[in-house]
Amino acid sequence: MTAVRPDTTPKPASEATNSPTLFPTGFVWGAATAAYQVEGAAAEGGRTPSIWDTFSHTPGKVLNGDTGDVAADHYHRYRDDVALMKELGLKAYRFSISWSRVQPTGRGPAVERGLDFYRKLVDELLEAGITPVATLYHWDLPQELEDAGGWPERATAERFADYAAIMAGALGDRIPMWTTFNEPWCSAFLGYGSGVHAPGRTEPSATLRAAHHLNLAHGRAIEVLRNQLPAGAQTSVTLNLHQVRPLTDSAADADAARRIDAVGNRVFTGPILRGAYPEDLIADTSHLVDWSKLVQDGDLAAISRPIDVLGVNYYTPTIVSTPQEGQGDSRDDGHGNSDHSPWTGSEQVAFHLAEGKKRTAMNWAIDPNGLYELLMDVTRDHPGLPLMVTENGAAFEDRVSPEGTVEDPERIEYLRGHLGAVQRAVADGADVRGYFLWSLMDNFEWGYGYSKRFGAVYVDYESQRRIPKASAHWYSDVIRRHALPATPDLA
């Protein structure tokens, strides 16, 4: 079966149309999910526990004791879900693969039953005319690899390359775009720093070692994918780049922003896109890790292998300052509550909520201009790099009406603003080639369990009934028009 490939030839908005509301020709419209958040079937088909299974089953780690054991039951309902995607007009579906479903121990041969699920999913997508976009890793390390040390151990990067080879061999002929990692910052800094994500460790040195080995695993996987995928297939990595702003124009706050930019962004963009770790990052964290020993000969060359597209995830800006004497600790960073900071080496930086902004159910400020600024900053720092917005969306307190509908005008307003920001960035020279809404459907929202709903499709978790929200229909209309509506219609 032939894959449906997106047209990724960059076309500025001025060449695509004379109308300011249309998106560029070939712009990819999609939605995204992640394996542990939607699949369920946690112990079926040979799948073994990942770190998120272990973490979610540990009392006190996830709100209300929720787990991903069933989630949105996508494993059993994928055909209906793909039919719904087709009905909504999605052109691409970004999903992740459960490593422990296809390689339960993180070593050795694949389990064919695990591969078969993804083969069937991809075939169903292609039959529906929807481009599959696969992410190899969205935070769910096989527990057996964590028991051997996890991402702080160099061997895990080599295991990841083996896993990438398995997936490329099984599905490389049918998937035209492959992403190595989704948000490796969260895996390293929330998983090993603050401990609010699996595996729940709070070890600053391990955090930095994990970040380097995630980078190395990305580079090793890119080499494998390049060698095994057919010509024309594309490779990428997705980063949740923090749009960092100093609270004031003081030199102290500017330095706070620099520190967070280093440990939040450039720890990945430096080696991946420039072939080097930033000198200021190394200086800020040299008391925690010996970078000269951590980074071995050949590592940076491997990590900086070229990618075709950079995925950018954005939800809200990050506002920071240097604390004033007597101010106390302030960490409204949007990354969960912990006595341990994820900002390894810059724990003293204070974080602030944006004032005068509407907020989502996550208490995140709604600021579309932050997405515009982020896309333009990446374009300035890395000219010519193709970009895709691979996650953008919002959680709100959604309810089913007596008529059986879900009206979510706040989400429509959120999407309108952020898609407008993408459009502005394209008009100003950013090579943005697609947009993936987070998320296709309500799901297991990590440490928040099922208490937060990001989906365009409402999921009744007791019955597993799917109800497209008003925002799903609005997004469907945007896709059909290939443009934002000319006038607001939040009904």
- Write out the catalytic residue numbers: 183, 391
Q: Which of 365, 374, 386, 379 is nearest to 261 (CA)?
A: 374
Question: Measured between alpha carbons, how far is 363 from 373 in angstroms, rounded to an integer?
Answer: 21
Distance, CA of 149 to CA of 152 (rounded, Å): 6
Contact (CB, 8 A) for 395 and 453: yes
Cα of 405 vs its chain's centroid, Å: 29
Residue labelled with tokens 């040195």: 205
CA dist 151 → 146, 167, 268, 298, 429 (Å): 7, 20, 15, 19, 37
Give the pair of three-digit tokens for residue 73: 């039951």
- Give the sheet arrangement for strand 318-321, strand by strand: 244-246, 318-321, 350-352
Q: Which amino acid is at 263?
A: V
The pairing of strands 318-321 and 387-391 is unpaired
Contact indicator for 221, 180 with CB cutoff of 8 Å: yes
| Strand, coil or helix: 137 | strand
Amino acid identity, residue 453?
R
Query: What CA–CA distances, in Å, run from 17 to 20, 395, 474?
Result: 8, 33, 22
Q: Give dist(CA 118, CA 47) in Å, integer.
A: 13
Query: What does the DSSP assignment read for 176-196?
Result: SEEEEEE-HHIIIIIIIII-S
Strand pairing category for 177-182 and 234-239: parallel
- Which residues lie closer than 8 Å to 43 by C-beta, 6 or more apart? 69
Angle at 116 between CA 115 and CA 119, to 5 degrees: 90
